[in-house]
Every structure is written in C-alpha cells, then in structure tokens.
Amino acid sequence: MKSPLFFLVAFLLFCAVPLGAQEVSALATPTPPNEEDVRAFQDALRQAQRGDAEAMGNLGLMYEKGMGCAPDPAKAFHWLERGAHKGDAASENNLGYLYLNGLGVKEDAAQALVWIQKAADQGLASAQGNLGLIYGRGLGVHKDYNQSLLWFKKAAEQDDSDAQVNLAQMLSLGEGSPQDYVESYKWFTIALRNHALTDAQVLDLRDDIEWLERRMTGAQVNEGKKRADAWENGSATPTPQG
C-alpha cells in the first residue's frame, strides 16, 4: 500500500478542468495545430470577446495548452481571470491551478486557494479534489487530513476517479478518520471500474485491493463490494455539495 501522498503528487499534475477531452497539465506538450483546433480557438475567441464566461475559460485553456494557437501562459491567465471574475467555476478552478503552479502569474498558494475554493463551493468536482490536494499536502495552508478527506469525498461522490483513489488510500491508512477497510475497498472498487484507466493504473489499483483483502474478513470484502454496487446503482445517498 502506497502512502496517500503518492496519489496527491500525481493529482497535482492532472486535476485541472478538462476542455472536452483535453486538460491542462504541468509542462504539457503543446498540441500540434490542426484545422479543427484552429476553428475551435477562433470560435472561443469570438465568444469570449462577446463576454461569454465559459468561452473565456475555454480560451484560457487553449492558450495554456497551445490548442489552435501558440502556447501563451500570460494570455491563458488573462482569459481565465476574466472568466473567473464572471463566476465561471471552471475558470475559477483553472485560475487557481495557474496560481498554484506559477503559470502565467507569480506563484501564490493563497490566491490559488481562494479561487479553487470558489469553484469547489459551486460543486465542481475537480475543484473539490484540488482542495483535497491542497489540504492533504499543506499547500499554502496547515496540513489538515480531515479537510482533505472531506473534499476528496465530495469529489468522489461525483465520480471523480482521482478523488476516489485518494479517498480510498486515506481510509485504508486511517488518515483524516479512523481506519475503514470496508469503505476503502468500496472506493477502490468503484475507481477500478473506470474504463478510462491505463493498464498501469489498473495494476496499481488491483495491488491496493489485494493489500486490503489480505487484511479483511470475507464478510468485510463482501460488504465492500455490496456498497460499491449500491453506489453505482444509485442506491447510496450522495454527499451534499456545498
């Protein structure tokens, strides 16, 4: 069983809100230009210039990633900031991500927390997962596993697979709450059923599940599976977002 901070480190690189199937990651390789990307960029630019907050956020991501344009962190920051000030949750979260990593702006963990918190309070799962990261690693705040667990759970309930893994890890090790193998097994099982996992991620999750099974009774394993099935079938009560 790996320390939960292993997953928190990985989470830092991949937790920004996606644009369709795209997402911002630290030191991302620019996407080679193609006609579809250029058209999407031009459309986002037109809509953003007309004041559309969501388009501002999309445009900011395009500048960060270099989708349909040359990568430009300063312009990414400009448009994400505009979208965030208009209340767009995705823009708020990604603006916080830029502050956290010093992309297009001076690194500022306090400002990162402000904007990511705003997005999380709107119920955005990736922002809630980011707060789990911030509190779990003590990025600009005192390390607080209770808060980390709370926010990972909120994101996990919205089917954020990274948060599900982080939550399961913390529960298995008793970080932020008493050790709970059954709930840990539940969330590892749910995360493992995500079809977007890479082969390496599947192997890691199976290793974690096997680690748990060696420490659980047969009844506990069955209960963990039962809870996972109930959650996926909608029988479990989601955590209220707030």
Average pLDDT score over residue span 173-187: 97
| Shared domain check, 135 and 242 | yes
Residue 8 inside a domain? The answer is no
pLDDT above 60: residue 111: yes
| Shared domain check, 46 and 26 | yes
- What pLDDT, on the 0 to 100 scale, is given for residue 24? 34
CATH code of the domain covering residue 213: 1.25.40.10
- In sequence order, which residues have a C-beta less than 8 Å from that of residue 173 and are 6 or more positions away? 1, 3, 4, 179
Instruction: Confirm if 76 and 95 have CB atoms less than 8 A apart.
Output: no
Residue 4 inside a domain? The answer is no
Longest dimension (CA), the chain: 60
Residue 1 inside a domain? The answer is no
Q: Where does a domain end: 123, 152, 178?
A: 123
| Shared domain check, 161 and 71 | no
- What pLDDT, on the 0 to 100 scale, is given for residue 39? 96
Q: Does the model's pTM come out above 0.75?
A: yes
Q: Where does a domain end: 123, 150, 167?
A: 123
Residue 89 inside a domain? The answer is yes
Per the structure block, which two tokens stand in for 39?
Answer: 């058209």
pLDDT above 60: residue 44: yes
Per the structure block, which two tokens stand in for 122?
Answer: 């709107």
Its domain, for residue 118, covers 18-123
Share of the chain above pLDDT 90, in %: 82
Residues 51-97 pLDDT 10s: 999 999 999 999 999 999 999 999 999 999 999 999 999 999 999 99
Residue 156 inside a domain? The answer is yes
Q: Provide the β-strand partners of residue 22.
A: 19
Q: What's the domain count of the chain?
A: 2
Instruction: Confirm if 56 and 88 have CB atoms less than 8 A apart.
Output: yes
